[in-house]
Structure 1
Amino acid sequence: MAKSAEQYQLEIIDSLAEIPASEWNTLLPEDAGPFLNHAFLSALEETGCVGGNTGWQVAHLALKDQDTLVGALPLYLKQHSYGEFVFDWSWAQAYEQQGMNYYPKALCAIPFTPVQGARILCAPGKNIKDIHTSLITGLKSLLAANELSSAHILFPLASEVQAFKDQGFMLRDSVQFHWHNQAFQSFQHFLSALTMKRRKNIRREREQVSREQITFRHVPGKLSTDQDWEFFYRCYQNTYAEHLSSPYLNEAFFKLWAQRMPDNLHLIIAQRDQAPIAASLLVVDKDSSKAYGRYWGAIEHVPCLHFETAYYQAIEYCIEQGIQTFEGGAQGEHKMARGFLPTTIQSAHYIVDPQFAKAVKHFLEREHAGIGAYVDELGEHSPLKSTKVQP
């Protein structure tokens, strides 16, 4: 017999250390991927990347049946909108122009990670609809009790979107660029699937890097060393410095992540005369046959080295490993010229103030039409030939 929301107990958890890893991970669906894993989320907390004075206050929602964890929602109270990849700065400005406080807001997301995945976690054997209803209702109660402006669910699974919509959340589209494996046997085989213009461009870029006498070292996470991660972090940090910004993640996080989840990490290090000059990181989920390009950086500028290290070497790796999808991260039309295709994914947003919610609804309707036209236009410039390539 299904339970009502009132029969479950909702708790706010300010540290994932309060929940044993086995209990949290039991809630994860088979295709959850690495970013929802207790090891990843707790590493962010333990190394101070979230919590403290970062503007990411940990407030996970835990749903319990007596003392048994039956559902959860990874949640943070945000004092800003950095590290989200769905931009609502204009909403915050308009909200505060009306004399209201937009921050703190509630954010259900994987910090600093624009990857689609489950956001409402449910224990096996439980009624998913009941768990969804209980957690979303609990989230809305949290907003009212703490006078929060809004709740934002970033990149939920398509199967979860309706549950949020049914509870008054508004949907917002985002465009990402993903590479898809068409049973490619080699990088050359992949190139043969592209239009002549794109094929020639990629060959030219790769030749430009090759002329610099640069080679590449692929380092599986389980074979990586502290020295590898120290160099990678130097590159990662330099990318932010070049954009006059500060990195969200610290070196301690990457080392702890590598220690806890080595099978999910793969470093690509560019070197000249065996001296490293650039690096990129792939997060690999072989269970769902996906790879995620996360970070890149260099200590020396070499034309086209970014494309080679972060894209072409990664595509070669995916082909060799039989990985079906390579997600290149948020935004970046330039990825299309490298064989990536646009993909639309959604986020869900709930605004407490009814008048402001109405204004946001009208904005999202116009934005939705604009993004639809944008994706249609991108489709006219596909890097792929119109017919599927044969091995």
Structure 2
Amino acid sequence: MNQMRAGGRGLAIVGAGPAGLSAARLLRQRGAGPVTVFEAQSRIGGKSLSISHQGIMHDLGTCFSSLAHRTTNRWMREMGISQVTLGKQMVDGRPFMEFVRSGPGPSLAIEGARYLALWQSHMAAVAARRDDPDVIATSAMSIGEWLDKNRFVRVKRFMLRAITTMGYGFLDEVTALQAMRWCTPALIASGMFSQLKMPVEGWQTFWERLALELDVHVGEPVEGVERDSGGVTLTTRTGVYRFGQVLITVPLDEAARFMALTERERFVRDSILWGGYTTTLCSVDKWFRDYDTESYTAALAAGAQAGRMLGVRRILNAGDREDAHHLYIAGQYSGANPDSVLAEKLAQDVNALGAKFESVVAQRTWKYFPRYRSEAIRAGLLREMASVQGEARTWYSGATFSHEAVSNIVAFNHGLVRRIAPALAA
């Protein structure tokens, strides 16, 4: 297909990860388009990476769904994709909720109600008054500082599991705004009432089925994007295309390789600090089978050394297969460590718990969780991130503009496509 002409129409989406594919699906459901998705890799799904081992799908990227995943949960039901519920969770050998409830101060119910009120107030203020100095100050502080300021003991313990174990950073580094985007009432309810699930066939299988009804060009990296008053010219190795609008879902520092950024776009790019998160599917003998996950607070504390095992989950969809019960997936902050060193550190942590680390089956290090610089928020990041939407016929989605979690990305896209659809019809 070659669409080179003076005036472009339709939308090009750069990136066939959760952001690009869900946006394409939502636009299709609205009857907006045409929409074409370009993916540089030979597979789709982005950080939703599922691999098959011993006849079982293992998710090395996106893993859980929660009550907050309303749209993707519905899509899975429509596709006939079943999910298995995450069972007992542990922290340092204690049940997760026992760990959360422990310590001095008001009960979890009282803390939870107070957190809900403060969460609702701040998120509403961000939506209505993003330039308000008080809103900016709260958004820019670390979530650890915010929790201590508001005397949250149990909510802080919950966030160690919900944020740090999941690869979203230490509590003294993550901004309060980004932590609150993830720790919604629906997410907290999911953790408290055992409503975390995983698709049996893997997240990548889900995205592959969703993409069957979309126009997706796999293995076709974008080499150039030029924007002008009449449209967007997009160049790949196979041709030159002309569109009316473009949606960028890859990180801005990567988009800068094929597109000249505006001043606003450069500011947003430079306001982000990317982390590294490594997931490892490993074979371990003599380890736990009577619960599903465990987190380790020594690795979750502020200042903990990169490479420590943050948490681990056993394979939930193995059923009664005895040959699969020795498989686990562990998470680590990568730091500057090469994969081989991370594997050594993981083996040391596993063996120190009395288990026997046998081998690495698969390992993946991710460019992960774009953390906002606090000084950038104070300098107007939220305003600039809103201002770049639609500027120069360009829209943005993905982890930078919402959160790393699929639930946040899809929720963000619901609002975004309501703005893109009229632009496509103009």
TM-score over 0.5 for the pair: no
**Larger relative contact order, structure 1 or 2 (CA cutoff 8 Å, min sep 6):** 2
* TM-score normalised according to structure 1 size: 0.28
